[in-house]
Structure 1
Amino acid sequence: MKSDFKFSNLLGTVYYQGNLIFTKNGSTLLSPVGNRVSVFDLIHNTSYTLNYEHRRNISCVALNKQETLLISVDEDGRAILVNFRARTVLHHFNFKEKVRDIKFSPDGKYFALAAGRFVQIWKTPEVNEDRQFAPFVRHRVYAGHYTDIISISWSGDSRFILSSSKDLTARIFSLNSQDKGVKMTLAGHRDYVMRAFFDSSQEKIYTVSKDGAIFRWEYTERPGEEDLPVEEKHMSWRIMAKSFFLAGATVKCATFHSSSNMLVVGFANGEFRLYELPDFTLIQQLSMGLNAVSTVTVNNSGEWIAFGSKKLGQLLVYEWQSESYILRQQGHFDSMNCLTYSPDGSRLVTASDDGKIKIWDIASGFCLATFEEHTSAVTGVAFAKRGQVMFSCSLDGTVRAWDLIRYRNFRTLTSTKRLQYSCLAVDPSGEIVVAGSLDDFAIQVWSVQTAQLLDQLSGHEGPISCLSFGTEGKTLLASASWDKTIRIWDIFSRAQTSEPFDMMSECLSLAMRPDSLEVAASTLDGKLIFWDVENGKQTRELDCKKDILQGRYMEDDFTAANSARGKNFSTIAYSFDGLTLVAAGNNNSICLYDLPNEVLLKRFTVSLNMQLNGTQLFLNSKRMAEGGAIDLVDNDGELSDVEERNRGNSVLPGSKRGDISARSSRPEIRVTSVSFSPTASAFAVASTEGLLVYSVDETVIFDPFDLDMDVTPDSTLEALKEGEYLNALVMAFRLNETYLIHRVYESIPFKDVGLVSRDLPVVYLPKLLDFIGALAMDSQHIEFNLIWISNLITAHGKYITKNKHMFGSGCRAIQRFLNRLAKDIVGAGKKNEYYTAFISTSHQIEVKEQKEIETQTQNEDDSAEDESDEQSQHEPDTEDGWFGPNDEAKKIIDNFTDSDSEIE
C-alpha cells in the first residue's frame, strides 16, 4: 500500500469570510475558506482546495486578468502570491497592516490595496521584467481619507482608482501624474460609503452607502458656466440623482456590472436585490435566509451572481435570468462528530452536533443531501455492506436507518428505556445493528428487517465507549468500556468468544481489522494496543506519546514541548488490507503507522491557523504580560461597527468545540473522526478546520514494470501494428503511460479479448482492473468494457478471490460502473417500453379516427339535410376529439409520466 498521501481537498465548509472571485470565463469560483482557498468548477461540478495555508483567516483575495497570479491576504496583512495554474506558491509578503480590499487593474500591470486609510499601488510581478530582488515593487501611496478604507475599484482603462471609506466619502485617485488634476472627494452621504463604481463610459460614478442611499455623480460644468468657452469652464463631479432603498435597510455589500448597468446589493436581513441603473429600476428581490449577505460578485457575462454569508457559511451562485440556483451549499453549523466512507468510496457521510447528517460527493466536493430528522447531536454513522442503507445514532435516544436511493428515513430503532447513544456498529450483512450508551452498561441489538430489539448484551461493568465490527470473515463484535476491558461477542450465538481483554487504562477508540482477526485500541495513556481475537493474546503495543504533536494554547505560559494535553488518540481506523493504521485525537497531528514493522510512516499537521488553540509551538514572551496573554484581551468594544462589537456574543463562553462557520470563540484544534477509503487511495479526517481529504496522486507517480532498452512507445505501437496484442499491452504497462495503455486497450479486437485476458500475467491484473474501472465511467464503449471485465473475472477469478487486498480499488471502481450502468439501462428500458406503447396506441387511435372520418363523409353524401347535425355531432373537440388524446391515450401518458418520475 502506498503511503505518500497529500492534502487534496477540504469539504464540509464552503465559505468563511472575504470576497468571492469569478474567473474570466465565469465558470469557476474562488472562495476563501478559513485560511485556505477553495476553487469550484460550476460547469463540471468539481472542486479542489489549494494546498497552501495562511497563519490567519483570509480577509481578501484577487486574481489577475490572465488568471496566472492569485494573491490572498490574511487578517494580519500577510500576503501569499500563488501561480494559479500551477497551484504553487511564488512569494510571501507582509503589508504590515490590515488589508480590507485588493484589486488587480484591468490591464493586469498593477494591483491596488486598501491598507488602513491609505491606497497603495503595487506593480504586478512579470517574467519580462529585469531580474530584481523584490517581487513586489510599490508604485505609489495615496492619502486623503481620515479613517479606514472599505473598498477600492478601478476604471475600465486602468487610469483611475475609486476608494470608499468610513469617513462618509469616496475619493478619486489617478495612476498617472498627468491626470493628477482629476483627484477629488465625493461627499454627501450620511453613513459609511460601502462601494463606489465607474460605469462603462467612465462619465458616471455610483456610490452606495450603508444606510441604503445610492448617488449618481456626473462630470459636468458648474452651474451658471454653460455659456462660457470650454477653456474657461470648471469641470467637476456633481450629484445628479439620489435614490434610496427601503427604509431601515442596512447595506452589507454591493457590486456593479458595468456592461449591463446592473447593480446587485446585499442587505443585513439576508435579502439581495437587483437594480438597473441609471433609472434605479428594481429587477428582482430575493432572500437567502435570515443572516446578512457578506459578499457578492458577478461574472463577466452578467448571468451568474455569487453570494456568501459568513454567519452560516453559505455559498450561493444564482442565475438571475432563469431565477434558478447554479450552486447552493452550506456546511455544518456545529462541529463534526463522525464520518464514514460509502462502500464504493465515492461518497462521504458526516454527522454533527447540530443534528444534521450530510452526504458529500468526493469528486465534486458538493453536498448531495442533508438529513435533519435527528433532534440532538448525531454521534455515529455507519454503512451497510452494499452501500444503499446507512445507520446513525444520536443523543436523542434513537437509531435511524436511511435509504440512500430515495433519501428517506425508513426505520427508527429505540430501546426499552430512554438512552443517549454514543457509538454504533453495523453487521457486514446489514441485518443487525448494535449501539452503546454512556448511560447504560448493556449493548443494544436490533434487527433491521423487523425493527425489533433482539437482545441486550450484558457483561461490561461500565459505560460503553466504542463498538466495532469486522467487514469480512466471522460476524464478531468488539466492544470497549470504561471498565478497562475489551470484549469480543458472537452476535448470532449471543455469547462471548473469549475472556475479556484487560487494559491498564481506559479505551478511547476501538477498531477491528477487516478480516476480524485482530482488534486495535487506543488508550488514555497514549498507547495503541493490538489483540489477537482467536487466541485472546496481546500481539503488539505502541507508545505514541512522542509521535503526537500538541501545540500550546493561548493562555499557556509554557511551550508545546512541555504540554501534557492531548497526548493520546481518540479515533483510529484500519486500512482495507489491515497493514496500516491512521490515528488522530484532540491535537494537531494525524499519524500513519505501518503495523508489521511497528513504525510511524508519516505525520500530518492538521492546521497552521494561529487563530485556533493548539497550533502554536513556541512561547513568545512579547505577547505575554502580567495579566496573561495579550491576545486574550477582548478589544471588540473599541471597534467602530456595532456588528463587529457584538460578533462574539452569540457563542457560549468556554466552548471548546467552537464552530466551523464562525470561529470567534477561539476553538481548539481537534480531530473527532478518521476513516480510510475502501479504495485505499485516500483517507478523510473530521477536524475543527472542516473535512480534510488526503489522497495519493497516482497521476504523477512513475512506477514502471521491468523497463529495459527495448521497451519504448515506438516499439509498443509497432507490436500493436503487427497484431502482438498481449506484448503491446504488457509493454504499455511497463512504461506506465496512460495514453499508451488507452490506445493499446481500445485497439485490441473484441474477438481476441478472451485470449489476451487468459494469457495476461497476473502481475499486471490489478493495474488493468484499475484502468478499466477509471475509464469505464466516461467511456462510450460500454459493451467492449463489459467484455473485458467478464473475460478477466472468468480467467482470473480464483486469483482475485485469494488476493482481495490487491484488487480492492479496481473491483470497487468496476462495481460502481456496473451499478450506474444497470440503473441507466433499466431506466432507458422502461422509457422505451412506454414510448413503444404510446406510439402503438397512437397509431391505433389514428386508424380508428380515420375510419370515423370516412364514415362521416359517406353519411354527409347520403343526406344533405342532416349535414349540420352530423357536423355538430362529429365536430372536433380540443380536449377529447380528433386533435386531443382520448381516454386510452391519456392513460398511456399518465403511466409514462409516473414511471419517469419514479426512475428519476
Structure 2
Amino acid sequence: MKANYKFSNICGTVYRQGNVLFTADGNSLLSPVGNRVSVFDLVNNKSLTFAFENRKNIARIALSPDGNILISVDEDGRALFVNYKRGVVLHHITFKKSVKDICFSPDGKFIAVTHGSHIQVWKTPNHLAREFAPFVLHRTYTGHMDDVLSIQWAEDSQCFITTSRDMTARLFTLNPVEGYRPKTFAGHRDAVLGAYFSKDGNEIYTVSRDGAFFTWRGKVEDLDSDSSEHDEDDDHPVASTSKFNGSASSSSSSVSRKIIHTRWGVHKRNYFNVPGSNISTSSRPAKVITVTYHSSSSLLIVGFSTGIFGLWELPAFTNLHTLSISQESISSLAVSPSGEWLAFGASHLGQLLVWEWQSESYILKQQGHFLDLNTLAYSPDGQTVATGGDDGKLKIWSMQSSFCFVTFSEHSAPITGVAFARYGTNVVFSASLDGTVRAYDLVRYRNFRTFTSPSPVQFTCLAVDPSGEVVAAGSTDTYEIFLWSVQTGKLLDILTGHEAPVSTLEFCPEGTNQLASGSWDRSVRVWSVFGRSRAHEAFTLNADVLVLAWRPDGKELAVSTLDGQITFFDVAESKQTNVINGRNDIAGGRLADSRTSAANSAAGKSFDSLAYTADGRCVLAGGNSKYVVLYDVREGEGVLLRKFTISENLSLDGTQEFLDSRRVNEAGVNIDSLIIDNDDDDDYERRRLDDTLPGVQRGDMSVRKYRRSARTKCVRFSPTGRSWAAASTEGLLIYSLDTPNTANFDPFDLSLDLTPSSVLSTLRSKSYLQALVMAFRLNETPLLQTVFEGVPRGDIKLVVRQLPVIYLGPLLRFIGGVFLKKTPHVEFGLLWVNAVLMIHGRVLRTGGGAIGGDQSLNMGGDMPSVLRVVKAALGECEETLSRLCDQNMSSLSYVVDQSKFIRQQEQRRQKDVEME
C-alpha cells in the first residue's frame, strides 16, 4: 500500500475572494480559492489547482504579459513569486501592508503595488541574469491621503494612473521628468475605484463607488512651459528621496509625452443610476463594486452591489448590455484580451461565471457550496463524486474535468448523507435534516423518488444496500432506523433499539444482508435486515459512536468513538480485534479563543469519518482538525503511516499549533477574535471568531461575522485506490498518487550545466544515450520528445541496452502517456517498446528484484501501472488503425469495382467496334 498521496485538485469551491484574471491567450481563467489558485481551461473544459499555498487567503493575483510569472498576494501583504507554467514557487516577498492592487507593466519589466497610501514599483526579476536580490525596488510614489485602490499602466509603460479612497486619481511617471509633478484628478464624492486611459491617450476615464463616471480631456501644452503653473495646488512630493533609484527617461513615446504634458479637465459627467434595493418607499442607486476597461474595443464593464453588471461603449457612454447574474454583489470581474468574454466572481455565493456578451451565452457557470461541505460519495467507477452541504444542495462533480455538471436543490435543510448504489452509477441518494431521503436519476437529472417517515424526523445518516434496492436512514429525534424500497417508495420496516440519536449507518459491502448502526448511546448494532427474526447483535463501547466503516470483504468493522479511539470488531466471531488510540494523532492546532494549548485541549480529538482502502489494509480517518491520518491495520496492527495537512491557511482557525502572544491585548483577549466591522471589506467571514455553546460546529448564528475553523467532515477513497477525497472547510480536496499535470516541473539530479541548450547540443553531437538521460533529468515534455525522435532507428536497441534501469519507468510512461497519443510515428514508438521488453523483460517481470531493490525506487515508478498505460495506448492505436483499415477496405473495394466496371465498358466498346 502506497502512502505518498499528494495534493491534486480542489472541487466544490471555485472562487472565494480577490480578483479573477484571464491568461494572455484568453483560453484560461485564474481564480483565487482560499489560499490557493485554480486555473480553469475554458477551451478544454478542465480545471486544476496549484499545490502552493499562501499563508492566508489570497487578496490579489497578477500574471505577467508573457504568461511566465504569477504573483499571488495574501491579506497581510505576503507574496509568492511563482513560475506559472510549472507551478513552482521561486521567491517569497513581504510588502508589509495589505495590497489592494498589483499589476505588471505592459512590457513586463516592472511591477506596481499599492502600499497603503503609497505606490511601490519593483523591477521584475530577470531569469536570464543571475542577481543577488530577486526583487529590486525601483521607486516609491506618494501623494494620496488614503489607501490606494487601483493602478492602471499606460500602453508604453512610461506612466500610470492610480485611484484612492481620498476621492482622487493621480497620474505618475515611471521615471522623473524635469519640471513635472503628478497630476491630480479631483471632483468625485466617493472613493474612486478605477481610472483608465483611452486608446489614443486623449481621454482619461474615472469611476467612483457612488456610480459617477467622469471623462477627462485636456489641451497639449507647450513642452517648454513650466508645468508648475498648472499644478499650483499640488504640493505633494513626487517620491521619497531614500527610495529613488530611477533616472530621467531619455526617450518617451509620443503617447506618454502627450499624457504627461496635458492640462486635464472634466469634459463630461455621467452616472450609471442602476436601481438598488428598495428602502421604505424610495429607491437608491446600487453601489459600484468593481470595474474594468477594455481599451481595444473601448468597452467599460461595471459590476454593482445588486449582482447586476453593465457594458458601456466609450466615449459616447452608450449602454450596450445590462444583466443580473447573481443575487449578491459582484466581487471581481475581468475581460479577455479579445474583449469577447467577461469573467465574474461573487464571493458571497462562491460563484464564478464567464459570459460571452455578444451571443449572450455562458461559457462557464460554476458555483461551489457557499456553506460547509458535510458529506461526499464516490460513484462505483470513480469518475464522479457527489457532495452535500449545509446549503441544502447536492452537487455532482466530474473527476476528469473537476467541474460540477448538475446541482439538485430540492432539499430545504443541510444534507447529512450521500450514497451511490454499489452496482449502479446512475442513481444517487441523499438524506437531509428536512426529514426526506431523495433518489436522483443521473441520466435524466431529476428527483424520481422521495422517502419520508410516518412522523416528521430529522435524518442524520444514510446507507444503501449493494444492490440499490433498499435505502436506510437514521433519525436524531426518535432514535429509529427507517428502511424503504427504492422501486416502490414504500416504508419496509422501522428498526428500534437505540436509546440516543443514530449517528452512522452502513450496509455490509459483501451482500450478507447486514446493516451496522452506531449511536450516541455508546453501542454498535449489527442487524439482519432481511431475516424474519430481525435479529441483531450489539457491541458496547466506552464513548459515543461517531462513525463506522466496513472492511471491503465484510469481515471487519471499524468504529470511531468520541474519546478518539478506533475500535475494530470481527463480526463473524463477535469479538474485538484491535484498538487504535488516535487522540494525539488527530489533535490539531489551537483555536484563537482557547485558553489551553493544542496538546491539552479536548476539542477535536476524535475522528468524524473513516474509510477503508480498496484492499482493506489501511484506514483513512479525519476529524475536527487540520489533519487526515492514514493507519496500517493489517494483522491487528495500528501503525500510523502518514499525516496529511489539509490546509496551512492562517485565515482559518485551528491551523497553528502555537499562538502568537504578541497578538494578545492587556485584557488577555486575542485580537483576532475581536469584531472588526469594515463596510468596504467584502470578505464577511474572516473578521470574527465565534464564541458559541459547546458542541456547536457551524458558528454562532446570532453574529454577523465569524471565522471558520480547519476541519474535515468526510473522507472517502476512490474505488480505484489511486486517490482519496476529503470534504473540508476549504472545499473538496483531492489527493492522488498520479501527477495532476503532466507538465508539472518535476526534475531530479539537476546541475547548473544541465540546460535545454546543453541537451540539444549533446543530441547534435550524436551522444543519444547521454542526451536522453539529460532530457529525463529535466523532465520537460517538448524537450524529451525532441530527443526521443532524434534517436535513429538503428540505434534504438543500443540506447535501450545501455539505459539505466531507473529510467525504464519514465521512458515507458512517456511512450504510452504522451508519444503514442500525439504522434503519427506509431512504428517508431513500437520499436522502442519492443526493445525495452526484449532487453529488460526479466527485470520488468521480477519487479526490480534482479538488481536487488524496490520496484518503485529502481525503475522510476509503479511498473504495473506504467505497463497498463502502455497497454491502453497500444489498444487505442490498434483501434484507430483497425478503424482506418476498415475505411480503407471499403475505399479499396470501391476502387476495384470501378476498375472492373471500366474494364467491362472497354470490352463492350471493343465488341461493338468488331460488330460494326
Please tell me the TM-score bracket, short chain as reference. 0.7 to 0.9
| Of 436-445 and 58-67, the range deviating more from structure 2 | 436-445
Question: 1:348 & 1:66 partners in 2: Cα distance?
Answer: 36
Contact map agreement 1:379 1:394 (CA 8 A) in 2: yes
Partner of 2:676: 636
2:584 counterpart of 1:546: yes
Aligned match of 2:457: 419
Other-structure match for 2:57: 57
Q: Does 1:524 align with 2:534?
A: no
Q: Which runs of 5+ in 1 are unaligned?
A: 704-708, 723-729, 788-904
Distance across 2 between alignment mates of 1:738 and 1:391: 38
Per-residue CA deviation, residues 274-318 of structure 1 (Å, 9 max, x unaligned), is 111111111111111231111111111111111111211111111
Alignment match, 1:627: 667
Is the contact between residue 550 and residue 615 of structure 1 (CA under 8 Å) also seen in structure 2?
yes
Look up the equivalent residue of 1:740 and give its one-letter code.
I
Match for residue 434 of structure 1?
472
Q: Which amino acid aligns with 1:325?
A: Y
- Matching of residue 468 in structure 1 with residue 468 in structure 2: no
Query: 1:288: which partner in 2?
Result: 325
In 1, Cα distance between equivalents of 2:321 and 2:178? 39
Equivalent residue number for residue 141 of structure 1: 140
Q: 2:299 aligns with which of 244, 262, 265?
A: 262
User: What are the within-5 Å matches in structure 2 for residues 295-374 of structure 1?
Assistant: 295-374=332-411
Matches of 2:879 and 2:217 in 1, distance apart? 64
**8 Å contact from structure 2 (residues 560, 606) kept in 1:** yes
Distance 1:506 1:232, change over 3 A: closer
Mapped to 2, the partners of 1:640 and 1:673 lie a distance apart of 35
The answer to whether the 8 Å contact 2:219/2:263 transfers is yes
Q: CA shift at 1:677, angstroms?
A: 0.6
Partner of 1:697: 738
Contact 2:179/2:226 (8 A) holds in 1: no
SS of 1:547's equivalent in the other structure is: helix
Alpha carbons of structure 1 residues 23 and 647: separation in structure 2 relative to 1, 3 Å: same
Is the 8 Å Cα contact of residues 691 and 700 (structure 2) preserved in structure 1? no
Tell me if the contact between 2:220 and 2:263 (Cα under 8 Å) persists in the aligned partners. Answer: yes
Report the equivalent of 1:446.
484
In structure 2, the CA distance between the partners of 1:85 and 1:259, relative to structure 1 (3 Å rule), is same
CA gap 1:647/1:590 in 2 versus in 1, 3 angstroms = closer
Aligned to 2:869: 771
Letter in 2 for 1:48: L
Aligned to 2:604: 566
Residue of structure 2 in register with 1:18 after alignment:
18
SS in 1 for 2:213: strand
Going from structure 1 to structure 2, the CA distance change for 1:231 and 1:100 (only over 3 Å counts) comes to closer
Q: CA deviation at 1:107?
A: 0.6
2:684 and 2:210 map into 1 onto residues whose CA distance is 18
* Alpha-carbon contact 2:204-2:215 (below 8 Å) kept: yes
1:783/1:431 CA distance change after superposition, 3 Å: farther
Match status 1:491 vs 2:529? yes
Change (3 A) 1:474 1:168: same
1:410 is displaced (CA, Å) by 0.8
Cα distance in 2 for residues equivalent to 1:109 and 1:674: 46
- Listed as ranges, the gaps of 5+ residues in structure 2 are 231-260, 275-284, 749-769, 774-787, 798-804, 848-861, 885-916
1:678 and 2:716 aligned: no
Give the stretch that moved more between structures: 730-739 or 597-606: 730-739
3-state SS of 2:658 partner: coil
Other-structure match for 1:375: 412
Task: Measure how far apart 1:641 and its partner are.
Answer: 4.1
For residues 145 and 170 of structure 1, what CA distance do their matches in structure 2 show?
Answer: 8
Mapping of 1:400-411 within 5 angstroms? 400-411=438-449
Q: Would you say the 8 A contact 1:82–1:89 is kept in 2?
A: yes
Q: Counterpart of 2:180 in 1: which secondary structure?
A: helix
Distance in structure 2 (CA, Å) of the matches to 1:486 and 1:180: 84
For residues 48 and 521 of structure 2, the distance between their equivalents in structure 1, rounded to whole angstroms, comes to 44
**Partner SS, residue 486 of structure 1:** strand
Partner Cα distance (1:608, 1:231) in 2: 52
Distance 2:145 2:478 in 1: 65
Alignment correspondent of 1:239: 266
What amino acid is the match of 2:732? Answer: L
| 1:622 counterpart letter in structure 2 | R
One-letter amino acid of the structure 2 residue matched with residue 245 of structure 1: F
The one of 636, 639, 644 equivalent to 1:604 is: 644
Name the count of aligned residue pairs.
763
Over 3 Å counting, the alpha-carbon distance change for 1:231 and 1:443 in structure 2 is: closer
Q: Which residue of 2 aligns with 1:688?
A: 729
In 2, the alpha carbon distance for the partners of 1:412 and 1:670 equals: 31
Q: Which residue of 1 aligns with 2:201?
A: 202
Whether 1:737 aligns to 2:812 is yes
What amino acid is aligned across from residue 271 of structure 2 in structure 1? F
- Rounded to whole Å, the distance in 1 between the matches of 2:334 and 2:681 is 25
1:616 paired to 2:656 = yes
In 2, are the aligned partners of 1:205 and 1:216 still within 8 Å (CA)? yes
C-alpha distance in 2 between matches for 1:206 and 1:74: 29
After TM superposition, give the deviation of residue 502 of structure 1 in Å: 2.0
What amino acid maps onto 1:393 in structure 2? A
CA–CA distance in structure 1, aligned partners of residues 78 and 810 of structure 2? 45
AA matched with 1:584:
G
In structure 1, distance between residues paired with 2:442 and 2:364: 22
| In structure 2, distance between residues paired with 1:221 and 1:719 | 72
Structure 1 residue 776: deviation in Å?
9.2
Per-residue CA deviation, residues 429-488 of structure 1 (Å, 9 max, x unaligned), is 111111111222332111111111112223334332211123335332211122322222
In 2 relative to 1, CA 163–528 (structure 1 residues): closer, same or farther, beyond 3 Å? same
Q: Which amino acid aligns with 2:644?
A: F
Alpha-carbon distance in 2 for matches of 1:434, 1:235: 76
- Mean Cα deviation higher: 176-185 or 42-51: 176-185
- 2:108 aligns with 108
**Whole-Å separation in 2 of the counterparts to 1:499 and 1:250:** 64
Kindly provide the amino acid, as one letter, of the partner of residue 23 in structure 1.
T
| Partner of residue 7, structure 1 | 7
Q: CA separation of 1:687/1:231 partners in 2, compared to 1, >3 Å: closer, same or farther?
A: closer
In the alignment, what sits opposite 1:86? 86
Give the direction of change, closer, same or farther, for the CA distance of 1:691–1:642 in structure 2 (3 Å limit): closer
Partner deviation per Cα, 1:44-76 (whole Å, 9 max, x = no partner): 111111112222211111111121111111111
TM-score (norm: length of structure 2): 0.77
Which letter does structure 1 place at the counterpart of 2:650? M
Q: Give me the whole-angstrom Cα distance separating, in 1, the residues matched to 2:386 and 2:191.
A: 44
Aligned to 1:177: 176
Q: Which SS does the other structure have where 2:440 is aligned?
A: strand
Structure 1 contact 440–464 (Cα < 8 Å) conserved: no
Aligned-residue CA RMSD (Å): 3.9
The Cα shift of 1:737 comes to 1.4
2:897 maps to none
| 3-state SS of 1:284 partner | strand
Check whether the contact 2:482–2:495 (CA below 8 A) recurs between aligned residues: yes
Does residue 628 of structure 2 align to residue 590 of structure 1?
yes
Partners in 1 of 2:93 and 2:718 — Cα distance? 38
Give the 3 Å change call, closer, same or farther, for CA 645–313 of structure 1 in structure 2. Answer: closer
8 Å Cα contact 2:686-2:707 kept in structure 1: no
Q: SS of 1:591's equivalent?
A: strand
* Equivalent-residue separation in structure 2 for 1:229 and 1:738 (angstroms): 69
Preserved CA contact (<8 Å) 1:488 1:496? no
Indicate the percent of aligned positions where both proteins have the same amino acid. 47
Cα 1:646–1:421, aligned 2, differ >3 Å: closer, same or farther? closer
Residue pair 2:690, 2:707 contacting (<8 A) in 1 also: no
On the 8 A contact 2:11/2:733 being kept in 1, the answer is yes
1:158 aligns with 2:198: no
Distance apart, 1:498 and its partner CA? 6.6
Pair 1:651–1:780, CA change in 2 (3 A):
farther
SS in structure 1 opposite 2:177?
helix
Retained in 1: the 8 A contact 2:326–2:346? no
**Shift in CA distance, 741/288, structure 1 to aligned 2, threshold 3 Å:** closer
Residues 1:391 and 1:774: Cα distance change in structure 2 (over 3 Å): farther
